[in-house]
Amino acid sequence: MDTVSSAQRSRNMASVRTRNTGPELVVRRILHAEGFRFRLHRHDLPGKPDIILPKHRAIVFVHGCFWHAHNCQRGKIPSSNTEFWTRKRLSNIERDQRQQQQLQSLGWRVIVVWECETKNRDELRRRLRQFLQRK
């Protein structure tokens, strides 16, 4: 059972940011500290990617575990209004896949960093470095 009203839940969800989120800032700090330079949220690319590294022809999407239905503790579906959230998250997954395919067909390499992965910064640093050093 939900502990807040439907109107309050709607306001809460509407206030969730899509840019400059905590996990995105973690990834940006790591990339900058490693010497990588990047652009943010280019509107001319499919999906307005979170981080674009033009020199490496690489895109980094930073996905929230809940919104993009990651298979982790944070990605669990709510117990109320499950039908709505199931549809919403499935449409997010389909959109993500479509956008990644479009970017790859344009010659971009794509990596997805999950919100939960930003907790282990050393592992994330290693993974990003490895991805960006591959050509």
Model confidence over 79-94: pLDDT tens digits? 888 999 999 999 999 9
Q: What is the mean pLDDT of the chain?
A: 91
pLDDT over threshold 80, residue 20 = no
Contact 114, 93 (CB under 8 A): no
Burial of 109: CB neighbours in 10 Å, binned 0-12, 13-18, 19+:
middle
pLDDT over threshold 60, residue 1 = no
Domains in the chain, ordered, with CATH? 18-133 (3.40.960.10)
Q: Model pTM?
A: 0.85
| Amino acid 65: pLDDT | 94
Mean pLDDT, to the nearest integer, of 93-108? 97
